[in-house]
Amino acid sequence: MLLRRCGTDALLVEVDSLTEVAAVRAALHGLDGIEELVPAARTVLVKGDLHGIRAALKTVDLTRVPATHPREITIPVTYDGPDLDLVAETAGTTADEVVELHTAATYEVAFCGFAPGFGYLTGLPEVLRQPRLDSPRTKVPQGSVGIAGEFTAAYPRATPGGWRLIGRTGITLFDPRSETPALLQPGDQVRFVVA
Amino acid sequence: MSRTVRIIRTGPQALVQDLGRPGNAHLGVPPSGAVDPRSLKLANRLVGNPETAAGLELLLGGLAVEANASCTIAVTGPAVAVRVNGRLADSHHPVHLRAGDTLEIGTPGTGLRTYLALSGGVDAPEELGSRSTDLLSGIGPDPLRDNDVLELGPPNPATGADVVPPHEAPPALVIPIRLGPRDDWFENAETQLRQGSWTVSDRSNRVGTRLGGTKLNRRDGEIPSEGMITGSVQVPPDGQPVVFLNDHPTTGGYPVIGVVDPDHLRFLGQARPGTEVRFRPVDWASGSLT
């Protein structure tokens, strides 16, 4: 674990894996005096009272994520994405098998970014870990469900994007007027089901 | 009866802004809020509002509004001409409007952003606890258009006349910066920052102040996306730094060579294209910025 200074009131905690990211996030979550806590792929950005933060980081055990009671979220998906056949071909299997693999796994929201409510979900089966498209789309429709590298995600709104799209969901992923604006938050458990 | 004002013309850009919605970066939501929060807070105080009330942030002034009810207004930011029914009034001072009065704000001679506070505050719907327009994410009210009608909240009793100084927007800035978190991507990061010089690009906006000038030499490649705070100085492969302002993305993959102290960001947020910028790296050990 490496602590990198980030201005007068923030630290960038650098670790080696998503598991360690989850451990650091869990150790700091709910601590008094924290203004922002932003997990990412190999880092946790934390802004706030640096004394308390440094003290909490001294005792963090990176090898295990403390047991929590994550929220469980189910996302219904219509699997008719424009890249479904490409994904099946790359995986050396059929489109039906891709759907079975994608719906059988349990995912965790590792972090959010890119756009409000865009959650990066880990837990993708090995054969579905595939590269981004060579040429990103200028507009990915709202609700598109895609895969890229070790992640799967659903697009909360139409944005440019290079993920391989396997389906779409009608669920609201981000509503700024809602009490809980983002459907997905770091630490949540997610399953996809056929709509 | 509700109190409203009608926008006669917006000028180049008129946005509803308060102090933003920090604390939501883990959801991918930028902090947003006034780029020069000091000027917005002062304007609010002049009209008896809490500092957190929503007002308007105007790019290069140019706004005209008609009051549909009696209200007190104040215009802050850089020095600018203010007219009520065509007659010159004071900026940086509370001004009373009667129902039917027309307020016109000129173009400031220096600086970028003018703030207008109205007694009672702009009563737009809150999104994630703020009324600010976030131009990156599309959260908050749409940018204002001609003929929009703005609801105002209930006014507080006047606090008595007060005057505040205008924002000074000098033609050249020296900005304190603290190295890190990714200064190790740069050879002699401190020297490169201290010896370089830049000008503010006309591609700057509320996402960031883009600088053009000395190329900052960095390693090739990208970092797996990581969290970014306001004030981060991100360096893309072309070596031209971008200082993140209030509507910045919450994560990014380019290395951040240093972070500008929050108290100095408003000077970049008020800097017109062409403003000269130099950085002064601040020693971590000294602790305090001067």
pLDDT confidence band for B107 (50 / 70 / 90): very high
Q: List the one residue out of B130, B108, B125 whose CA is nearest residue B58.
A: B108
Low-confidence ranges of chain A (pLDDT < 50): none
Which chain A residues touch B139 with a CB distance below 8 Å? 116, 176
- Global model pTM greater than 0.90: yes
What pLDDT is attached to residue B163?
Answer: 80
Q: What CATH number is given to the structural domain containing A84?
A: 2.40.100.10
Over residues B71-101, the pLDDT tens digits come to: 999 999 999 999 999 999 999 999 999 999 9
What pLDDT is attached to residue B162?
Answer: 77
Q: How far is CA A52 from CA A64, A126, B26, in A?
A: 21, 39, 20
A186–B26 C-beta distance less than 8 A: yes
What pLDDT is attached to residue A63?
Answer: 87
Which chain A residues touch B227 with a CB distance below 8 Å? 12, 36, 38-40, 43-45, 113
pLDDT confidence band for B1 (50 / 70 / 90): low
Contact B144, B124 (CB under 8 A): no
Are residue A145 and residue A51 in the same domain, yes or no?
no
A171-185 per-residue burial string, b: 16 or more CB within 10 A, e: under 16: eebbebeeeebbbbb
B260–A116 C-beta distance less than 8 A: no
Are residue A83 and residue A133 in the same domain, yes or no?
yes
Are residue A28 and residue A121 in the same domain, yes or no?
no
Are residue A48 and residue A87 in the same domain, yes or no?
no
Enter the ipTM. 0.92
Are residue A42 and residue A106 in the same domain, yes or no?
no
Kindly tell me the sign of the dihedral angle through the C-alpha atoms of A36, A71, B140, B4. negative
CA B75: distance to chain centroid? Answer: 14
Report the domain count for chain A: 2
Q: Which residues on neighbouring strands pair with residue B213, listed in sequence order? A: B198
User: What is the DSSP code string of A40-88?
Assistant: -SSEEEEEE-HHHHHHHHHT--TT-PPP----EEEEEEB---TTHHHHH
In this structure, is residue A64 part of a structural domain? no
Which chain B residues touch A41 with a CB distance below 8 Å? 224-226
Are residue A78 and residue A174 in the same domain, yes or no?
yes
Chain A contact present for B260, CB below 8 A? yes
Are residue A88 and residue A53 in the same domain, yes or no?
no
Residue in A closest to B125 by C-alpha: A177
Q: List the one residue out of B4, B187, B194 whose CA is nearest residue B99.
A: B4
A157–B178 C-beta distance less than 8 A: no
Percent of chain A clearing pLDDT 70 (strictly above)? 99
CA B176: distance to chain centroid? Answer: 18
Are residue A179 and residue A135 in the same domain, yes or no?
yes
Residues 6+ apart with CB under 8 A from A158: A139, A140, A141, A142
Check pLDDT > 50 for residue B290.
Answer: no
Which chain A residues touch B250 with a CB distance below 8 Å? 38, 112-113
Domain boundary pick from A36, A58, A80: A58
Average pLDDT on B136-155 reads: 96
Give residue B148's region: left, alpha or beta (phi > 0; psi -120 to 50).
beta
Number of neighbours of residue B277 by Cβ within 10 angstroms? 22
The domain containing residue A177 runs over which residues? 72-194
A117–B249 C-beta distance less than 8 A: no
Q: How far apart are CA B77 and CA B41, in angstroms?
A: 11
What pLDDT is attached to residue B161?
Answer: 65
In this structure, is residue A63 part of a structural domain? no
> Token pair of B178, please?
């603290």
B139-166 per-residue burial string, b: 16 or more CB within 10 A, e: under 16: bbbeebeeebebebbebeeeeeeeebeb
Check pLDDT > 50 for residue B288.
Answer: no
Give residue B48's region: left, alpha or beta (phi > 0; psi -120 to 50).
left
CA A30: distance to chain centroid? Answer: 20
Which chain B residues touch A181 with a CB distance below 8 Å? 24, 27, 29, 127-128
B226–A43 C-beta distance less than 8 A: yes
Are residue A11 and residue A80 in the same domain, yes or no?
no
**All structural domains of chain B:** 3-152 (no CATH), 172-281 (2.40.100.10)
What pLDDT is attached to residue B64?
Answer: 98
> Token pair of B86, please?
């065509």
Which chain A residues touch B231 with a CB distance below 8 Å? 7
Are residue A29 and residue A82 in the same domain, yes or no?
no
Which chain B residues touch A177 with a CB distance below 8 Å? 125, 127
In this structure, is residue A119 part of a structural domain? yes
In this structure, is residue A65 part of a structural domain? no
Chain B contact present for A10, CB below 8 A? yes
B139–A36 C-beta distance less than 8 A: no
Percent of chain B clearing pLDDT 70 (strictly above)? 96
Contact A154, A173 (CB under 8 A): yes
Interface probe with B: pick from A45, A51, A71, A114, most Cβ of B within 10 Å: A45
Q: What CATH number is given to the structural domain containing A36?
A: 3.30.1360.40
Residue A40 has its nearest CB partner, among B226, B256, B260, at B226
In this structure, is residue A66 part of a structural domain? no
Residue in B closest to A5 by C-alpha: B181
Domain boundary pick from A27, A58, A89: A58
Chain A contact present for B287, CB below 8 A? no
Check pLDDT > 80 for residue B283.
Answer: no
Percent of chain B clearing pLDDT 90 (strictly above)? 89
What pLDDT is attached to residue B76?
Answer: 97
Sheet holding B113-118, edge to edge: B13-17, B55-59, B113-118, B71-76, B95-97
CA A122: distance to chain centroid? Answer: 6
A36–B25 C-beta distance less than 8 A: yes
Which chain B residues touch A12 with a CB distance below 8 Å? 180-181, 226-227
Average pLDDT on B163-178 reads: 93
What pLDDT is attached to residue B285?
Answer: 60
Over residues A154-188, the pLDDT tens digits come to: 999 999 899 999 999 999 999 999 989 999 999 99
CB–CB contacts below 8 A, A to B: 113
Which chain B residues touch A117 with a CB distance below 8 Å? 27-28
Gap from B101 CA to chain A (nearest CA, Å):
34
A5–B181 C-beta distance less than 8 A: yes
Contact B95, B74 (CB under 8 A): yes
pLDDT confidence band for B289 (50 / 70 / 90): very low
Are residue A44 and residue A95 in the same domain, yes or no?
no
B250–A113 C-beta distance less than 8 A: yes
In this structure, is residue A9 part of a structural domain? yes
Kindly tell me the sign of the dihedral angle through the C-alpha atoms of A39, A43, A47, A52. positive
Terminal alpha carbon distance of chain B? 50
Are residue A161 and residue A117 in the same domain, yes or no?
yes
Domain boundary pick from A58, A80, A101: A58
